[in-house]
Structure 1
């Protein structure tokens, strides 16, 4: 599919007013994307686990305007409070998707949104938030054009979400989502995420992710700035090739449930992401001392017990502890006894692999 496929024609119905609601989860990348081209196109493909508990719940109320098509008219409430400082980001999103969702200017909109996890906790709220909003926009389009197929609906929702936040396109479905053109993955696309099309071993379908909140402050460096620093980065091309190679290797790993090899790739990907940040110009370090303490404790625990627990990181200090469901009791005991001390106010979030967004 290409961008033109998502530009709508005439709508079949008129909808004077109504309300739609979706909940959409965050996700955690296993193979990271870092660096992007124009229009939110990734410089390399990525694959992610869709989470279950860390999600955004968004309601979109709409009422047809008497004078249509002039400008966007919307109010935004976050967790019950009016949030005008969030509005520029939403307006920018609407402007990016205008040719694909031109009907938005025909309605007065009320957006109410909330997270099931603490704001600024280091969870990818842009992924859950933008995917939930994109799904609401698609539900409104579905009311205007009831003939949309489910497959097209989900692809376009992912396509729109990507224009709000790149990683948001990986939050529409689950359990494993790949985004970005990759020669070895049938149907892969830079425009939207797809459900991983190959065999996935049962062990990965119930995988656990406990998120250790090392630093709950705002990001030191915006994702947009970080991605842009890959332009002219001395190691960029090697990094992009590495991502493709790791995706190739993961195909057999996902099929066979090979946890030792899974761990090698996932941890290497996390550290490579941060190596790219530390070697860019300007350079920056997002890990904190406690991030490193946790990583070393995980390595020590895995070495002494044989429990296949590992870590991954996003572009921040917090640590995602990944492990099979059958090891849950042991790993949670380890976290409580040895890792909680490195978390801000002892806080962590227990999550697991989910099936994707749900209409409410």
Structure 2
């Protein structure tokens, strides 16, 4: 297992004056939730996620060596082709955090041109995909300066860097199932970066579908940073962290054995526990909307009536991720269109599938 010091490079053997790279990185949906963190984006408990495929950020990084010895970071930001100054503070903070691991950053002027394949105001978190895509680009530049870097080091360091921008971004570098955080069932697991699920996933979970119901497309009521901070001193924090460890063991067994019933039980419990933590924090928040509850109840009724193994999960918001096997997709999509779309804002939903991680263009 690598330590933080392993990601601080020695001397570079190559030079590069200018060029560009372009990467896409997908969003991901946690099955066992990470909620609560320590200093430097270290998770309070381990998590596991499905990497998505269609909901992704595409980022082009153009770099040119600076002629002066200016010690500041220098970059322009474009979002969907237009200047986006509101993103600047987050990128600046990210660069400050990773500068020790990417010592070339102040040598270049960067243009960061980014776009999402999903609507920016859709309520789908873009920080994971955005930070992962940016980390992949910076690693491509470092690989240019250090061509002897191994693929294993490249991807682990990309995940490590992405984590420093947004914790869950470390799970968006690889696919299809990613574990982040130390856990006894995963000898290679680390708090510093995500690792690919090291066991063979049962056929039942291959090409698993995720249809995202956009219940509320507004800005998040509570930022993730604030939400995580509410776990400090939370009356149920320690029980929650222990529960996450137990649930990760259960979902590992389910993914290997093909036990869809246990998978559903754990995934739905995890989603509701995340929201229970917010409702029992101080201050307290209710992140679900009435339509979120309507959708959940309809999913339960549909599953009971048909026996089709469809389930839901939630992020820290009102939108619902509907998870189901590919073999049931026709009937589930028909159910979604007939019964659930009415509860979505402007009847909007996104169809996604489990994917393989970041892609270079």
Query: Which category describes the TM-score, using the shorter chain as reference length?
Result: over 0.9
Match of 2:195 in 1: 194
State the Cα distance separating 1:199 from its structure 2 match. 2.2
CA contact (8 A) 2:204 2:260 kept: no
Measured after TM superposition, the shift of residue 196 of structure 1 is 0.4
Instruction: Name the CA distance, whole Å, in 2 between partners of 1:224 and 1:251.
Output: 28
Tell me which residue corresponds to 1:91.
92
Distance in 1 of aligned mates of 2:343 and 2:46: 32
- 1:30 matched to which residue of 2? 31
Q: Is the 8 A contact 1:24 1:55 kept in 2?
A: yes
Kindly provide the CA deviation profile for residues 263-285 of structure 1, in whole angstroms up to 9, marking residues without a partner as x: 00000000000000000000001
- Residue number in structure 2 paired with 1:253: 254
How big is the shift at 1:69? 5.6
Q: How does 1:172-211 map to 2 (within 5 A)?
A: 172-211=173-212
**Is contact 2:36–2:45 with CA below 8 Å preserved after alignment?**
yes
The gaps in structure 2 that reach 5 residues or longer are: none
SS in 2 for 1:70: coil
Q: Which structure 1 residue ranges, 4+ long, deviate > 6 Å from structure 2?
A: none
Judging changes above 3 Å, is the alpha-carbon distance between structure 1 residues 308 and 100 closer, same or farther for their aligned structure 2 residues?
Answer: same
Residues 1:346 and 2:347 aligned together: yes
Contact 1:35 1:227 in 2 (8 A): yes
State the secondary structure of the residue aligned to 1:58: strand
State the match for 1:221 in structure 2.
222
Kindly provide the CA deviation profile for residues 227-269 of structure 1, in whole angstroms up to 9, marking residues without a partner as x.
0000000000000000000111122211111111110000000
Cross-structure match for 2:293: 292
CA apart distance, 1:198: 1.4
Provide the secondary structure at the position in 2 that maps to 1:24.
Answer: strand
CA distance in 2, matches of 1:234, 1:259: 32
Equivalent residue pairs, number: 360
Tell me the equivalent position of 1:263: 264
Alignment of 1:121-200 (within 5 A): 121-200=122-201
Q: 2-side partners of 1:70 and 1:325: how far apart?
A: 52
* TM-score for the superposition, normalised by structure 2: 0.99
Instruction: Measure the CA separation in 1 of the matches of 2:157 and 2:121.
Output: 28
CA contact (8 A) 1:187 1:194 kept: yes
For residue 9 of structure 2, what is the aligned residue in structure 1?
8
Q: Which residue of 1 aligns with 2:45?
A: 44
SS in 2 for 1:162: helix
For 2:322, the equivalent position in structure 1 comes to 321
User: Are 1:54 and 2:55 counterparts?
Assistant: yes
Q: Tell me how far 1:159 sits from its aligned partner.
A: 0.1
- Per the alignment, residue 119 of structure 2 pairs with 118
* Map of 1:242 onto structure 2: 243
- Cα offset for 1:124? 2.1
Q: Give the TM-score normalised by structure 1.
A: 0.99
Q: Structure 1 CA distance, aligned partners of 2:317 and 2:78?
A: 27
Cα deviation, residue 120, structure 1: 2.7
Secondary structure in 2 matching 1:102 = coil
> Deviation per CA, 1:26-72, whole angstroms, max 9, x where unpaired?
00000000000000000000000000000000000000011246110
**Could you say which residue in structure 2 is the equivalent of 1:280?**
281
The secondary structure found in structure 2 opposite 1:276 is helix
**What secondary structure, in the 3-state scheme, does the structure 2 residue paired with 1:308 have?**
coil
8 Å CA contact retained: 1:93, 1:163: yes
Alpha-carbon RMSD: 0.7
Question: Deviation digits for residues 75-122 of structure 1, max 9, x if unmatched?
Answer: 000011101111111000000001001101000100000000011312
